[in-house]
């Protein structure tokens, strides 16, 4: 008996109840035996595309070409032609008129983006909006009448639901894998600013990035974005960005926005552990113990105080800072939200208005010197809240280019630079001024709860 037949028999017996399971009767028809996702795949596959992002190299000429004799005889050999860099990923058509969602890392730094549809048609795509904070990008191709997937409310996804992952792993062509939702609300540090994902054991491999995580009703429940792996291949731990976050990027792009403006709650805190719960006489661990409330923020105006415990946002439990930011970001700016808190052992509800976050105004990209490749901004209370930082002063690392001097120095996204060459730095301008004075640099960096030194000469 094949594995598919075993599965089909088991499902039929379970559906029939314990008595039937004990009888172990064999199925009597092909319809009872056959178990296939083919109808679902046929319906959804045309909406999943291949994304090819190409970065054109700068041509580097040898100085020997300045010699006319050498140029005449050896020009082709002396001229070094770098090959274009190509990245491969997947995407999902979300609107019939050519809007496609994919991962931001798939098209980052690309000069040309081409999209190949399931029917082999190829289009040049333009970037409508790229949101590195959640690793999503909205593309647009000049087409109409396309098959598009509808987005599911990802809050309806439950652990144990069956899902399909559709994409183009390793460039072998469109591939479908199946699995279940391993966790419906998984915090995964280091993947985007919100760190809130749907975890699945459906096989996801390089090239699947930007592809569809599909529910059994044919709707899009998430965008496949990352895997946990020590080998580079799937070991059954994959992460997808929930469709509710995907929807915020699509809506912003369709309205012509160049960036997604999200709500700013204005609060920092720590997860309530078992010890904290016992000290506060809470029935069980869970929620966020408020450490500080930003004056003028939405939380402060709602009456939140230091020492309160936030347990829910709009009726949804929150267990850590990533989940709190996720729940808040789903509330449109200007609309009301409800925060359930525990104060002095009593449960209260606070109503707040979602205020727009203040985006960094002094963002600086260092292009030369020992910190070349790092992008920083002055750490403000709002920025600290958005990135889950408990420290309130310093310079926040927004991005680090792969292979750059800053990357080799060991800097990472969301690090906070506290001091440079022994002097406190509380603005990106102060850091830039220090870099201009000296080629050698010694940094005091905070990463999470750890503080370390980074030295470059």
Residues annotated as catalytic are 105, 135, 209
List Cβ neighbours of 132 (8 Å cut-off, separation of 6 or more).
104, 108, 399
| Cβ density class 75-99: b for 16+ within 10 Å, e for less | eeeeeeeeeeeebbbbbbbbbeebb
The CA distance from 290 to 354, in Å, is: 18
Q: Find the farthest-apart pair of alpha carbons in the chain and give their distance in angstroms, rounded.
A: 93
List Cβ neighbours of 95 (8 Å cut-off, separation of 6 or more).
146, 148, 250, 254
Q: Which of 87, 93, 117 is nearest to 105 (CA)?
A: 87
The CA distance from 390 to 160, in Å, is: 35
The CA distance from 313 to 323, in Å, is: 10
DSSP structural state of residue 50? E
Q: At 347, list the tokens.
A: 């449960």
Distances (CA, A) of 53 to 49, 103, 201: 13, 12, 27
- Phi-psi sector, 300: left (phi>0), alpha (psi -120 to 50), beta: alpha
Q: Residue for token digits 């006489």?
A: 281
Planar angle of CA 276, 280, 284, nearest 5 degrees: 65
The CA distance from 92 to 45, in Å, is: 9
The CA distance from 395 to 385, in Å, is: 14
DSSP structural state of residue 22? H
- Identify the helix (H) or strand (E) that includes residue 367: none
Bridge partners of 180, per DSSP, are 162
């Amino acid at each position: 008996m094949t594995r598919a037949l075993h599965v089909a028999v088991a499902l039929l017996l379970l559906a029939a109840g314990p008595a039937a399971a004990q009888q172990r009767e064999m199925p009597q028809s092909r319809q009872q035996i056959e178990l296939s996702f083919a109808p679902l795949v046929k319906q959804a596959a045309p909406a999943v595309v291949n994304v090819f992002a190409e970065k054109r190299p700068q041509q580097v000429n040898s100085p020997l070409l300045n010699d006319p004799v050498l140029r005449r005889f050896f020009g082709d050999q002396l001229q070094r032609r770098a090959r274009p860099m190509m990245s491969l990923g997947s995407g999902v058509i979300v609107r019939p008129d050519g809007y496609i969602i994919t991962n931001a890392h798939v098209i980052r730094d690309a000069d040309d983006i081409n999209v190949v549809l399931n029917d082999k048609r190829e289009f040049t795509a333009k970037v409508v909006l790229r949101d590195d904070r959640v690793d999503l990008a909205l593309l647009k191709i000049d087409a109409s009448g396309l098959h598009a997937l509808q987005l599911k409310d990802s809050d309806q996804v439950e652990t144990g639901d069956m899902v399909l992952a559709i994409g183009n792993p390793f460039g072998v062509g469109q591939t479908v894998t199946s699995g279940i939702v391993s966790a419906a609300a998984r915090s995964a540090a280091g993947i985007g600013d919100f760190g809130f994902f749907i975890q699945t054991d459906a096989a996801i491999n390089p090239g699947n990035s930007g592809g569809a995580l599909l529910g059994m009703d044919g709707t899009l429940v998430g965008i496949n974005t990352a895997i946990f792996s020590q080998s580079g291949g799937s070991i059954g731990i994959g992460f997808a960005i929930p469709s509710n976050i995907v929807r915020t990027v699509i809506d912003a792009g369709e309205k012509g926005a160049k960036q997604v403006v999200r709500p700013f709650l204005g609060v920092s805190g720590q997860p309530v552990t078992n010890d904290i719960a016992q000290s506060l006489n809470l029935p069980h661990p869970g929620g966020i113990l408020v450490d500080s409330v930003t004056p003028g923020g939405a939380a402060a105006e709602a009456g939140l105080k230091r020492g309160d415990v936030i347990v829910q946002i709009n009726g949804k439990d929150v267990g850590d800072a990533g989940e709190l930011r996720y729940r808040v970001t789903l509330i449109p700016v200007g609309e009301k939200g409800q925060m359930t808190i525990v104060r002095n052992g009593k449960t209260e509800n606070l109503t707040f208005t979602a205020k727009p976050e203040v985006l960094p105004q002094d963002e600086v990209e260092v292009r030369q010197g020992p910190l070349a490749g790092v992008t920083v901004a002055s750490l403000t209370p709002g920025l600290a809240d958005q990135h889950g930082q408990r420290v309130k002063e310093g310079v926040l690392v927004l991005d680090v280019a792969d292979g750059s001097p800053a990357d080799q120095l060991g800097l990472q996204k969301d690090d906070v630079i506290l001091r440079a060459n022994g002097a406190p730095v509380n603005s990106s301008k102060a850091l830039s001024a220090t870099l201009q004075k000296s080629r050698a640099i010694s940094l005091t960096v905070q990463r999470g709860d750890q503080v370390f030194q980074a030295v470059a000469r």
